[in-house]
Structure 1
Amino acid sequence: MGRALTDHPAKDEVSRFLKTYPDVEGVEYLISDTNGVLRGKWAPPQSLAKAAGTGVNFPLGLFGLDVWGREVTETGLHVETGDRDGVCRLVPDSLRVIPWAARPTAQAMLTMWTETGIPFLADPRQQLAFAVDRLAKAGFRAVAAFELEFYLIDPRQTERADAAPRTVLTGEPGPERQNIYALSDLSAFSDLFHEIRTAGLAQGLPLDTIVSEASPGQFEVNLKHRPDPLAVADDAVMLKRLIQEVARKHGLRASFMAKPFIDRAGNGMHVHVSLIDGDGANAFSAPGVGEARLTHAVGGLIDGMAPSTLMFVPTFNGFRRLQPGSYAPTRATWGHNNRSVALRVPMSEPAARRIEHRVAGADANPYLVLAAVLNGMADGLEREAAAPPPCDRNGYAASDPQLPSTMDEAIRLFERSDFVRRAFGVEYRKLFAALKRAELKAFAEEITPLERSTYL
């Protein structure tokens, strides 16, 4: 974890960008907080040279905010330690134009370093970098891609501010609509999805397929595999923002909430990961060792799954998504070509053999999700962990260990986990648990409308 801050490779990138886009009037600086919420500031384009050089200052306490943006003093990042600044520098290859902006505007992603020039451990992107380094020491490089599910919400169909939202494509007569993979549902919003694809290409995002999902108004956008896990997570963060902004232009809201409707499918964020070995080949298909490597990686992921569920399901609402039969896993299971398990090995050519991790909700932080996955794989490979037998039937009926079903249970497993300590360090384990405990306390202190309608 000692990567020092050195001369920044983005200096030339800034120079090229400003020459290509001389009419840019401003820059939106973006940095992902612990919950995956984008924080930042607006600045003139002249500030880019500083962002790619000495860096721009932001409070370290940015990573000690709960999901509502409130300071959690138990993290030790706020006034009790002087509310100190860190140095944020430009993430290479993240400087892009904003196609949906009304005026010529750029966006740039940042990552945090301490004032002494070392990576700040509370920055989720730095935690992913640590995981990449750990895997490299074991002799492997990850290739990964995210799949993002979301609902399109029509705010015009919601009569009251406190009423349940309504998705597009609802309210039609007849039986409850499902229509999975329907081309007609994509056609109904062809202008919106065309704009998402066009804006994604303009921003250099490796967009792949767009599909209609399991419930009315639910869709999924997939990204292509890339051999750079940090860029993969950057892509997911930028894609979520793009989808939300384009939907807003069309008078809609795109929601990545894990379980916005109790009687409909939840929103997941699956991640596909393969490993490249020192010979440049798929580590899971290498003759003589591929199967053993796959088993060790799966074993590490299975062993670390329950303790790290809090990173995959970081919200109070997210645990409502983990229901039997929902295609969101409830047990630490794995199998080949099986969507009822937590870890699926999809059908593929040998060169594309990979693991699909299916636990995370769409509202999780992509950096932390991928960091937990890579750490699990590295842990299994380092220990030559054994995997349980693969499940070839209904994963919900298996006898494998159950995942935590509540936020409280997930916090307790997380904060005493030796796997989390080895993967993220004692300090980060304490910080993340403190944030989640503060959020859980807020939900416990809230009196719900159902309570009032029942007991008042």
Structure 2
Amino acid sequence: MQGPAQDGSGAPERAAGEEAASYIGRHGVPDVVEVLLPDTSGVLRGKWVPGTGMAKIWRDGVPMPRSLFGLDIWGREVNATGIHIETGDKDGLCRPIPGTLRPVPWSPRPAAQVLLTMHQDDGSPWMLDPRHQLKRQVARAAALGFVPTVAFELEFYLLKPWAPGEVPVPIFPHTGEARQNMYSMSDLDACAPVLHEMRAAAEAQGLPADTVISEAAPGQFEINLYHRPDALAAADEAILLRRLIDGVARKHGMRATFMAKPFTEFAGNGMHVHISLGDGAGGNAFARPEGEGERLLRHAAGGLLATMKDTLLFYVPSYNGYRRLVPASYAPTGISWGFDNRSVAVRVPNGPPAARRLEHRIAGAEAHPHLVMAGILAGMLEGIERAIEPPPPLTGDAFQVETERLSPFMGEAVAGFLGSDFIVRTFGEEYQRIYGVMKREELAAFERAILPLEYDTYL
């Protein structure tokens, strides 16, 4: 496994001499290097660079337009952000993130890939890059003596190919029937060739893939990543895992989707995040004796609940994602927490004290891992710094308990984000404005669209 990802701004010459040379020594010179920059929506933007020019990527960096962080989910410029042609559409200098140079096993030609992060001309971070927002929260945790330990779980559907105008259909692995078959070994066996190749590709890339599960719906699976004592590396690897799953699925003539709610009748795709706070000496701060660990965990949960409306747009950034936040749909609907309870938004899983952690269950699988992690960590630290006490933990079916609800409407989430003092204090007024404007315009595009159901009803 390759080492943890760090910030890409330091010692590019040394990195070029060591990381690129090490890669070539193990894999040979690739035909191309795919340089990958996740935009504000987590969509990968980038270039193919000839493999013979690999060292130049580290030595000189890769220029990319700063305005890539002002694109909507379709890749169109959102002019209201004010960061496009009116600024001259200047480039930012993108540096490779050490530890993310990996082979691309599903490529038909020898290829490598590396994640980038964007900086300004003077080397300072371009704060519209979500990775820098997460890095700020990691630094905030470090100042309090904490090292976040993080694991992502990603759900996805495998789909049959479909033609334009057709409705996508999931792979029905075993019987060909559309039915629930949770944790089915037969469904894993039926899709074994593609799932085993995903596991092999993860091993080849050094991604810490753990369990593979057949989930709650036909053709739905989950791949988990091991816990990492590095929140930045964990989010980087979640981005790379999504690319891997999509790439291997295409190689097998399928499509993979992380769409939050692709089918009305079946469960949506979630991105569950497990997080504990290391104490810097290898211990878990949530396991500290004499009640201190329980107090820290309680305040961290309190902060997550208190800021949940403010940060909801990070966790559910898509119009479709709000279709997932409905009762009895394997997604939380209330601002709630509890112990060993999968119906709440923030769960404390069972386990020994050394493994005590929080599981954040709100995010859709299409969300940006760096923004999801930044929102979670910011909420936890807010709770710890302000000693925020949560309400009593819920037991039983949280869908049946009267609690404050998460909004199922994107418009309310946008308004909550744009009106939040917490977002201004934590992420900056400019980030609040630009992210909020982008999501407001995406919402307007969906609200203008005429649905097929309307034609079926009125024509």
Normalising by structure 1, we get a TM-score of 0.96
Deviation by residue 1:349-394 (Cα, 9 ceiling, x = unmatched): 1111100000000110111001111111111111111111101121
Secondary structure, aligned partner of 1:40: strand
Deviation at 1:173, TM superposition (A): 7.6
Secondary structure, aligned partner of 1:370: helix
Secondary structure, aligned partner of 1:43: strand
Structure 1: unaligned runs, 5 residues or longer: none
Of residues 214, 217, 220 in structure 2, which corresponds to 1:218? 220
Correspondence 1:377-388 to 2 at 5 A? 377-388=380-391
Residue in 1 aligned with 2:3? none
Deviation at 1:45, TM superposition (A): 2.2
Correspondence 1:171-182 to 2 at 5 A? 177-182=179-184
Retained in 1: the 8 A contact 2:8–2:97?
no
Retained in 2: the 8 A contact 1:4–1:119?
no
- C-alpha separation between the residues in 2 aligned to 1:199 and 1:27? 17
Of residues 30, 38, 43 in structure 1, which corresponds to 2:36? 30
Residue 157 of structure 2 corresponds to residue 120 of structure 1? no
Retained in 1: the 8 A contact 2:174–2:190?
no
Retained in 2: the 8 A contact 1:372–1:423?
no
- C-alpha separation between the residues in 1 aligned to 2:80 and 2:64? 20
Q: Structure 1: which 4+ aligned runs deviate by more than 6 Å?
A: none
Residue in 2 aligned with 1:454? 457
Of residues 10, 35, 38 in structure 1, which corresponds to 2:15? 10
Correspondence 1:33-432 to 2 at 5 A? 33-155=39-161, 158=162, 161-169=164-172, 177-288=179-290, 289-432=292-435
- C-alpha separation between the residues in 2 aligned to 1:181 and 1:328? 17
- C-alpha separation between the residues in 1 aligned to 2:387 and 2:202? 40
Deviation by residue 1:399-451 (Cα, 9 ceiling, x = unmatched): 33211211100000001111211221111111110110110111111111111
- C-alpha separation between the residues in 2 aligned to 1:285 and 1:4? 33
Larger mean CA deviation between 296-305 and 270-279 belongs to: 270-279
- C-alpha separation between the residues in 1 aligned to 2:63 and 2:441? 27
Q: Write the letter of the residue equivalent to 2:367.
A: A
Retained in 2: the 8 A contact 1:4–1:118?
no
Deviation at 1:325, TM superposition (A): 1.1
Retained in 2: the 8 A contact 1:200–1:207?
yes
Secondary structure, aligned partner of 1:307: helix
Retained in 2: the 8 A contact 1:10–1:93?
no
Deviation at 1:314, TM superposition (A): 0.3
- C-alpha separation between the residues in 2 aligned to 1:51 and 1:304? 39
- C-alpha separation between the residues in 2 aligned to 1:162 and 1:299? 46
Secondary structure, aligned partner of 1:35: coil
Retained in 2: the 8 A contact 1:4–1:117?
no
Normalising by structure 2, we get a TM-score of 0.95
The alpha-carbon distance between structure 1 residues 189 and 133, as it changes in their structure 2 partners (threshold 3 A), is same
- C-alpha separation between the residues in 1 aligned to 2:53 and 2:64? 14
Deviation by residue 1:163-202 (Cα, 9 ceiling, x = unmatched): 321111179587x521100000000011111100101000
Retained in 2: the 8 A contact 1:259–1:321?
yes
Secondary structure, aligned partner of 1:197: helix
Q: Write the letter of the residue equivalent to 1:261.
A: F
Secondary structure, aligned partner of 1:61: helix
The alpha-carbon distance between structure 1 residues 53 and 23, as it changes in their structure 2 partners (threshold 3 A), is closer
Deviation at 1:279, TM superposition (A): 4.1
The alpha-carbon distance between structure 1 residues 278 and 249, as it changes in their structure 2 partners (threshold 3 A), is closer
Retained in 2: the 8 A contact 1:270–1:357?
yes
Secondary structure, aligned partner of 1:275: strand
Alpha carbon RMSD of aligned pairs, Å? 1.6
Larger mean CA deviation between 398-407 and 126-135 belongs to: 398-407
Q: Write the letter of the residue equivalent to 1:152.
A: L
The alpha-carbon distance between structure 1 residues 43 and 278, as it changes in their structure 2 partners (threshold 3 A), is closer
